[in-house]
């Protein structure tokens, strides 16, 4: 018995040594230089605003579609690589670690009710009752429940709430993003439906965005961050709502081409307002 025990112990020791010999203590350099994937950047500070200097302002809501070629930097990569993540994975990881705060969706798009990472995931876990038929005789039917988990790849849009204002001190038309909302695209009965997940305060989230790299197709060595993408407005979007007395979206009073023209009209009105200030 003692010999058998010693033999088994020797086998386990040899197996352990063999497994450890296959693990690399230090990975080889996979690139032009060694990098641990960490980013040490700070967001650029917002320009100061005095209430007395804001002579005009308007709130605008935009939507960014990740399926547009210029916006694909938000959607990819599907598989996380070092510090290179898709936008939604960056946000979910930050929520999970407590580095970012999500707010519940409200009819007024206000940031009123904080929600947790677990709340976000649980709300997207669907349970669908379904009748199944057994594959063996007597092929009887039985009730079951099919669970579908949250799929981050279904997040294909992003809503932005922003304020445009004219600063009389600087004599400039400026814009400041206030909140961001990821939106899922689902298919139901053959139709595409949108489902907003939660709101994020842009000001509260900038520290996280400044540490998350984005692919730069013009120069891979000069990686951008999500904060720089928003700050420099390196995205394509369309306006789906402007501040109005009825608090309604464009889709509630215009459809099809008319909705696109209305969105373009609102965008042009912002620039026309600034240009008209300098007419004599």
So what's the pLDDT on residue 137? 79
So what's the pLDDT on residue 249? 95
Q: How confident is the model at residue 277 (pLDDT cuts 50, 70, 90)?
A: confident
Q: Could you tell me if 100 and 94 are in contact, meaning their C-beta atoms sit under 8 angstroms apart? A: yes
Q: How confident is the model at residue 20 (pLDDT cuts 50, 70, 90)?
A: very low
Pairwise CA distance, residues 112 & 114, whole Å:
7
Specify the higher pLDDT residue, 19 or 168: 168
Residue 180's CB is within 10 A of a number of other CB atoms, namely 22
Domain ranges of the chain: 39-44+53-124+151-276
Structure tokens at 143: 């009730």
What does the pLDDT look like over 28-85, one tens digit per residue?
776 665 665 567 788 989 999 999 999 999 999 999 999 999 999 999 999 988 778 9
Rg, C-alpha atoms of the chain: 26
Q: Could you tell me if 213 and 224 are in contact, meaning their C-beta atoms sit under 8 angstroms apart? A: yes
Q: How confident is the model at residue 157 (pLDDT cuts 50, 70, 90)?
A: very high
What does the pLDDT look like over 76-94, one tens digit per residue?
999 988 778 999 999 999 9
If you average pLDDT over every residue of the chain, what do you get? Answer: 86
Helix%, strand%, coil% for the chain, nearest 5: 30, 30, 40
So what's the pLDDT on residue 131? 72
Specify the higher pLDDT residue, 183 or 42: 183
**Can you name the residues that pair with 60 across neighbouring β-strands?**
162, 242
């Amino acid at each position: 018995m003692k010999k058998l025990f010693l033999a088994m112990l020797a086998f386990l020791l040899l197996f352990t040594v063999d497994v450890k010999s296959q693990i690399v203590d230090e990975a080889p350099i996979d690139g032009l230089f060694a990098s641990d994937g960490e980013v040490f950047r700070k967001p650029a500070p917002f320009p100061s605003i005095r209430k007395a200097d804001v002579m005009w302002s308007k709130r605008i809501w935009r939507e960014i579609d990740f399926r547009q070629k210029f916006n694909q930097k938000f959607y990819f990569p599907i598989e996380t690589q070092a510090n290179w993540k898709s936008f939604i994975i960056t946000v979910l990881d930050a929520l999970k670690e407590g580095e970012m705060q999500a707010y519940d969706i409200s009819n007024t798009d206000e940031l009123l009710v904080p929600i947790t990472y677990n709340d976000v995931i649980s709300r997207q876990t669907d349970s669908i009752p379904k009748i199944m038929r057994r594959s063996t005789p007597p092929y009887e039917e039985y009730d079951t429940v099919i669970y579908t988990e949250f799929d981050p790849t279904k997040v294909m849009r992003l809503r932005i709430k922003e304020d445009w204002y004219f600063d009389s001190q600087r004599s400039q038309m400026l814009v400041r993003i206030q909140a961001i909302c990821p939106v899922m695209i689902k298919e139901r009965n053959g139709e595409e439906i949108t489902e907003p997940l939660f709101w994020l305060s842009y000001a509260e989230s900038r520290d996280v965005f400044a540490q998350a790299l984005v692919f730069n197709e013009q120069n891979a060595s000069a990686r951008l961050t999500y904060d720089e993408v928003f700050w420099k407005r390196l995205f394509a979007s369309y306006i789906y709502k402007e501040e109005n007395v009825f608090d309604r979206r464009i889709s509630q009073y215009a459809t099809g081409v008319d909705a696109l023209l209305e969105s373009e009209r609102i965008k042009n009105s912002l620039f026309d307002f600034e240009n008209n200030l300098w007419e004599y």
